[in-house]
Amino acid sequence: MTLPTASVVVVSRDRPEMLCRTVLGLRHLDHPAFEVVVVADPPGLAALAQAGLDGPLKTARFGEANIAAARNAGIALAAGEVVAFLDDDAVPEPTWLSRLTAPLAGEAAAATGFVRGRNGISLQWGAVEVAADARERPLQSDGTRIVPPGGGHALKLQGTNMAVRRDVLARLGGFDPAYRFYLDDTDLSLRIGAAGHAAALVPGAEVHHAFAPSPRRGTAREPLSLTEIGASLAVFLDRHAPPGLHAAAIDRQRRAEHARLVRHLGAGRIGPRDVARLKGEFELGLAEGAARPPPALIPLPPPTMALRPFPACPAPMRRLAGWSWQARRLRAEAAALAAGGVPVTLFLFGVSARPHWLRFTEGGWWEQTGGLFGRADRDGPRVRPARFATRLAEETHRLSRVRSFDAPAP
């Protein structure tokens, strides 16, 4: 199969260091023909230039706190047949883009994959179907499947792991800027389905999402503002749901936000005054969103620039492994290999039952840490006997679903 050419759009604001990490992570994608479009604020663009990462990119300066409008600015520069979207606090697996775009060479107009959470192992977002009242329900996810349009539901495209044919995006007018950061991808999912297009669920197209702090959430994902959540919900319901469903949908979201606030209050991350303030912001947001006029989503023009191929260097993953007390030497070796363009996964095991974490480092290599007897899968037993070689083989095999290694585990 010939894969369609692709443009990867990364939107960034207030996260220059994480933006550099994301761009580093794109170096090892195995897609044969793609470009990278970065839409970022001045500090983000300056960080890329300082790190020497801006040369192969298309860039657009964008400081407004509106992810939908920023994504549209990225689409304007995108010359690929397919436009893929990735957040600035996310890093894809090397096989991500090839797997995500493959169904778009056929009957699907859009595709989405799975998202790993902060520990790099647990599933953050899987297969989800969304309805016109914003209600979500899980979907069966045994391998790639095509979800046809119709029935008042659509496959939910996750904004940090999604791709859409550019011609379809252009006809639909791109993202709706009335959604400043929430539900913009869900709105597009329903509009794609309403236009009669199928979407593909691709579980093997994986992205690691850190859920970094922002002006809207803290380091432990505690909400700092609920205004835009309320506003976007009001906009979404006005666009998609019959009026008779609005009250129930708003009440469902209101109860979900209350439960979330109570959890963070119990953990000591917010105080009682914060709870009252945030609830008030949600209600104010509902009123503000209901007053937002619907924009005229006009078709987008063709790109003004040709595809600028990103100089990726796909190769089998080099595996390094050792004990935690050997970390300094092994990290230096991983850094040297990464600087030379070699993809690396470093396994560091301690003599403990500490749970495992997997992350892409700022130095450009993947690193999994944890106890030899600890669990990787959070649903597994907390303590499990293992020998070093056996555990290394197991972890290598688990990751081989989404990356290839240059040698089998011993």
- Which domains are delineated in the chain? 6-209 (3.90.550.10), 227-290 (no CATH), 318-399 (no CATH)
Confidence at residue 408, expressed as pLDDT on a 0 to 100 scale: 54
- What residues have CB less than 8 Å from 106, skipping those under 6 apart? none
Q: CA 92 → CA 4, 208, 299, 341, distances in Å?
A: 18, 6, 30, 16
Cβ distance 385 to 371 under 8 Å?
no
CB hemisphere CA count around 183 (13 angstroms): 26
Q: CA 13 → CA 17, 38, 358, distances in Å?
A: 11, 11, 25
Expressed in percent and rounded to 5, the helix, strand and coil fractions of the chain are: 35, 25, 40
CB hemisphere CA count around 27 (13 angstroms): 21
Confidence at residue 217, expressed as pLDDT on a 0 to 100 scale: 86
Q: What are phi and psi of 289, to 5 degrees?
A: -65, -35
- The alpha carbon torsion through 194, 197, 198, 202 (nearest 10 deg) reads -100
Average pLDDT for runs of 10 along the chain of length 410: 95 95 96 97 96 93 93 97 97 98 96 96 94 94 90 93 98 96 96 96 96 83 94 96 96 97 95 96 96 88 94 91 97 96 97 96 97 92 92 96 77
E strand segments, 186-253 = 198-209
The model scores a pTM over 0.85 = yes
Query: What's the farthest any 2 CA atoms get from each other in the chain?
Result: 64
Q: Which pair of structure tokens corresponds to residue 365? A: 């290599």
How far apart are the C-alpha atoms of 201 and 199, rounded to whole Å?
Answer: 7
